[in-house]
Amino acid sequence: MYIEFDSTFCNGNTHINEASLHRSISSLRLPVLYKNYEIAWLLKAISCIDLTTLAGDDTFSNVSRLCIKAVNPVSHVILSTFAENKIDLGFLNDIQVAAVCVYPARVADAVKQLKLLNSSMPVASVATGFPTGQYPLTTRVDEIAFCVENGASEIDIVLDRSLVLGGKWQELHEEVSKMKKACGEAHMKAILSVGECGSPENIYKAAMACMMAGSEFIKTSTGKESVNANLPAGLVMCRAIRDFHRKTNTKVGLKPAGGVRVWSDAFPWLELVKEELGREWVEPHLFRIGASGLLQDLEKRLYKLATGVSAPSTFFKQV
């Protein structure tokens, strides 16, 4: 939903008490999870992953392996063990990740492999001068167009952080609006780069400017900053999403990325979103986790719950 720039969304009087913010996060309590409930949480986390490879040596081969793993994220050994133990979680056998995420040059590779797998899984691509955004707007917009032409249905854009640090919210809104227009029918995820925004207030206002410009998701980080996804920033973003929903009746998704590496990192994000935004937001259309190594750790935890022993180091092949 695009909204003409309205300065009341980025009010200069916005103030966030950082001490209170951290107290709220420290009081976040995960429920005690018994076996089947923990399995359900692990599977929920898997279903919300944007399985990502953003390496300089990416090739068709490793993008193909990524796609195969994305469509079949849980080992047959784990699935069969659950079946033998009569653990039935409904969608267990049909589980897959939410999307695969690659560089623009690899979008066509991912689209081709997913087609061979008869999968309708979306392909996401980072764009707009990832990870810095320090490129002319025309080239950033052209990069989005290239991704869409090659089959990407989700675009993860990066912001010009100088606009955030300078408090130029209308200019930021205008840039993001142009990027959203270039996305066409593709969904847009706006990466705020929370570790480089300067303050919680800037995170909130940047989130508001991006949501007004039509972004379907706001995302914490590129994964390349020194400070990436963190729960205090996530709480600020959840509050921005909640305020935006109250003002516009539009639901915007959240995507933490960077630093969510093990299953115990993922669970607090699920709980935060559920508590702040509601159960509906803990679904792939409104919640994603950008990660490359997280899936393997979630699968290791499932292996231990299924078999009672830790997975041997040779059991999993790194995607």
Return the active site residues: 219, 255
- Token look-up 């679904």 returns 283
Q: Which residue, 190, 191, 180, is CA-closest to 144?
A: 180
d(CA 267, CA 297): 12
Q: Which residue, 295, 282, 230, 280, is CA-closest to 259?
A: 230
Q: Do the Cβ atoms of 121 and 100 come closer than 8 Å?
A: yes
First to last CA, the chain: 36
Helix axes 18-26, 231-248, angle to 10 degrees: 100
Q: Do the Cβ atoms of 229 and 268 come closer than 8 Å?
A: no
- Is 27 buried (19+), middle (13-18) or exposed (0-12) by CB count in 10 A? exposed
Query: Given 3-state DSSP classes, what are the helix, strand and coil percentages for the chain, each rounded to the nearest 5?
Result: 50, 10, 40
- Is 132 buried (19+), middle (13-18) or exposed (0-12) by CB count in 10 A? middle
